[in-house]
């Protein structure tokens, strides 16, 4: 693999970094900048920032030109996300599902009419999307979806419940995976609807997370009428389309995570130099030095896992099992990293940074880290994939002692 960048790619890097420098919100990154705190504040902030990205044509950097995107190469997308990470620019938040999941799925399986209707409004940020896949009894076992859609003339009538639906209470549209045939094998009876979240009978109920905010919801559907024209692709082919959505969950932005983590690592080292424990800076304290060294080594490992993932995508057009290795390693590493940060912060880590304590800045990341090993496929599920596809272990067999023979 050649890791060097071509002159064109280097020029592209300069173009992006200049744009970011000129367009970051005023004062961003300085101590005076008042970062958004509540979900509502972050929502407002993200809408403005993501609109700015959209107007400059960066929102659709991974989208083909035919659909209004930039149609750039994977390397250029990586460069874009690397520069965003290096500048500590805000990450895509409110438009994540639209740009990364809804757009690519509609491009791959939608009718021409659907593409014309939905794609431009995703790209210009005028409509927000959510992903209605998980249910109380269908998370890891997604094919078990029970929300029912019954065809009645020109409409589907939808009844059921979704859960953990990020942004449902602010979304305009939903990617809804639902059951249209209960008489066949479970993954063969699913369909995929594009549902207007403002329809009568939809009730999102925000769920409070450990951070105290509610970014996701449980969503109840009661006799919701969805026009047949909003069926994606063919009836009962929803499982195939859902897999397209899931394959896009970890886009190229994920490849730049290690840069964001290197920034956090540098902040952690600064904090360790400033914070005193037992009369010495934490950075020199024997109880912390090994944890800091481990954090450093793990960010390095993540860099190489990232390169491996890029190689796999360049060779095969999509991530193979490397995607699961990266997700597992990254999310478990985040948990350990945030534990170290909170241990260094000591009691101050329990506070918010507005309380004026140095440690307060780590609080939110620590609380959020618990979600990382669950969202987008839990660690256990990633381990199953790795054990089956890399280690060749038998599928779905649960070890149990053999019953003793009767004598």
Ligand X SMILES: Cc1cc2nc3c(=O)[nH]c(=O)nc-3n(C[C@H](O)[C@H](O)[C@H](O)COP(=O)(O)OP(=O)(O)OC[C@H]3O[C@@H](n4cnc5c(N)ncnc54)[C@H](O)[C@@H]3O)c2cc1C
Residue 371 interacts with ligand X (CB under 6 A)? yes
- Give min distance, CB of 49 to ligand X, in A: 20
CA distance 56 to 34: 25
Binding mask 197-236 for ligand X (x = CB under 6 A): -------------------x--------------------
Q: Which residues contact 80 (CB under 8 A, 6 or more apart)?
A: 16, 58, 61, 72, 252
Residues near ligand X (CB under 6 A), total: 17
Stretch that binds ligand X, among 47-55, 73-81, 129-137, 301-309 (CB under 6 A): 129-137
Q: Does position 312 bind ligand X by CB under 6 A?
A: no
284 DSSP assignment: G
CB of 136 to ligand X, least distance (A): 7
Contact of 251 with 62, CB cutoff 8 Å: yes
Q: How far is the CB of 11 from ligand X (least distance, A)?
A: 37
165 binds ligand X (CB under 6 A): yes
Give the ranges where 174-256 is alpha helix by DSSP (H). 238-247
Residue 369 in contact with ligand X, rule: CB under 6 A: no
Decide: is 330 part of the binding site for ligand X (CB under 6 A). Answer: no
Q: What is the CA angle 135-139-145, rounded to 5?
A: 50
**Residue 399 burial class via C-beta count within 10 angstroms: exposed 0-12, middle 13-18, buried 19 and up:** exposed
Name the helix (H) or strand (E) containing 385: helix 379-389
Query: Could you tell me if 100 and 144 are in contact, meaning their C-beta atoms sit under 8 angstroms apart?
Result: no
Residue closer to ligand X, measured from CB, 355 or 380: 380
Q: Which is nearer to ligand X, 147 or 230 (CB)?
A: 147
Least distance from ligand X to the Cβ atom of residue 182, Å: 20
User: Considering only CA atoms, which of 317, 320, 264 is closest in space to residue 292?
Assistant: 264
The reply to whether 248 sits near ligand X by the rule CB under 6 A is no
In angstroms, what is the minimal distance from the CB of 116 to ligand X? 26
CB of 132 to ligand X, least distance (A): 6
Q: CB under 8 Å, gap of 24 or more: what pairs does 46-54 form?
A: 46/90, 46/92, 46/93, 46/94, 46/95, 47/94, 47/125, 49/25, 49/90, 50/92, 50/93, 50/94, 50/95, 50/125, 51/124, 51/125, 52/23, 53/92, 54/95, 54/123, 54/124, 54/125
Closer CB to ligand X, residue 28 or residue 93? 93
* Cβ closest to ligand X, residue 6 vs residue 140: 140
| Strand locations in 110-184 (E) | 129-132, 148-152, 155-166, 173-179
- Considering only 227, 378, 385, 388, the residue that binds ligand X (CB under 6 A) is 378
331 belongs to the binding site for ligand X (CB under 6 A):
no
* Cα-to-chain-centroid distance, residue 108: 20
User: Cβ of residue 368: shortest distance to ligand X, in angstroms?
Assistant: 8
The reply to whether 311 sits near ligand X by the rule CB under 6 A is no
Shortest separation between residue 139's beta carbon and ligand X, angstroms: 2
Among 63, 80, 133, 337, binds ligand X (CB under 6 A): 133
From candidates 301, 321, 381, 385, binder to ligand X by CB under 6 A: 381
Q: Binding to ligand X by residue 237, rule CB under 6 A?
A: no
- Contact between 380 and ligand X (CB under 6 A)? yes
Q: Would you name the residues annotated as active-site residues?
A: 249
**Does the footprint of ligand X cover residue 139 (CB under 6 A)?**
yes
Q: Which stretch, 15-23, 120-128, 190-198, 371-379, contacts ligand X (CB under 6 A)?
A: 371-379
Using the CB atoms, write b or e for 164-173: b if 16+ within 10 Å.
Answer: bbbbbbbbbb
- The CB-side HSE value for 124 (13 A sphere, CA atoms) comes to 6
Burial 364-374 (b: 16+ CB within 10 A, else e): bebbbbbbbbe
243 touching ligand X, by CB under 6 A: no
Stretch that binds ligand X, among 9-17, 62-70, 294-302, 380-388 (CB under 6 A): 380-388
C-beta closer to ligand X: residue 396 or 401: 396
Please measure the distance between the N-terminal and C-terminal CA atoms of the chain and give it in whole angstroms.
62
Q: Which residues bind ligand X (CB under 6 A)?
A: 130-131, 133-134, 139-140, 164-166, 216, 371, 374-375, 378, 380-381, 384
């Amino acid at each position: 693999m050649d890791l060097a960048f071509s002159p064109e790619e280097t020029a592209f890097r300069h173009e992006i970094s200049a744009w970011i420098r000129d367009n970051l919100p005023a004062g961003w990154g300085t101590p005076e900048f008042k970062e958004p705190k509540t979900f509502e504040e972050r929502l407002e902030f993200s809408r403005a920032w993501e609109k700015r990205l959209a107007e400059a044509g960066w929102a659709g950097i991974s989208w083909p030109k035919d659909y209004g995107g930039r149609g750039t190469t994977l390397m250029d997308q990586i460069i874009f996300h690397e520069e965003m990470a290096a500048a500590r620019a805000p990450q895509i938040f409110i438009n994540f599902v639209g740009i990364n999941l809804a757009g690519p799925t509609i491009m791959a399986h939608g009718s021409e009419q659907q593409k014309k209707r939905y794609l431009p409004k995703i790209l210009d940020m005028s409509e927000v999307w959510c992903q209605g896949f998980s249910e109380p009894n269908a998370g890891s076992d997604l094919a078990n979806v029970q929300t029912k859609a019954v065809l009645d003339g020109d409409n589907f009538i939808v009844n059921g419940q979704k859960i953990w639906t990020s942004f449902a209470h602010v979304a305009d549209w939903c990617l809804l995976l639902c059951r249209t045939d209960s008489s066949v094998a479970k993954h063969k009876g699913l369909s995929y609807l594009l549902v207007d979240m403002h329809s009568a009978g939809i009730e999102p109920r925000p769920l409070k997370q450990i951070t105290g905010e509610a970014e996701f919801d449980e969503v109840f559907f009661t006799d919701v009428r969805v026009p047949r024209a909003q069926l994606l692709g063919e009836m009962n082919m929803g499982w195939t389309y859902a897999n397209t959505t899931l394959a896009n969950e970890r886009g190229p932005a994920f490849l730049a995570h290690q840069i964001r983590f290197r920034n956090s690592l540098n902040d952690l080292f600064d904090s360790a130099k400033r914070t005193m424990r037992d009369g010495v800076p934490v950075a020199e304290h024997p109880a912390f030095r090994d944890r800091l060294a481990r954090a450093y080594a793990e960010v390095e490992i993540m860099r190489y896992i990232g390169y491996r993932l890029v190689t796999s995508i360049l060779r095969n057009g999509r991530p193979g099992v490397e995607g699961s290795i990266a997700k597992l390693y990254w999310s478990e590493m985040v948990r350990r990293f945030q534990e170290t940060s909170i241990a260094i912060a000591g009691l101050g880590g329990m506070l918010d940074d507005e309380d004026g304590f140095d440690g307060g800045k780590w609080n939110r990341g620590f609380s959020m880290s618990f979600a990382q090993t669950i969202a987008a496929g839990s660690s256990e599920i990633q381990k199953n994939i790795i054990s089956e596809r890399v280690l060749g272990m038998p599928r779905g067999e649960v070890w149990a002692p053999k019953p003793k023979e009767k004598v």
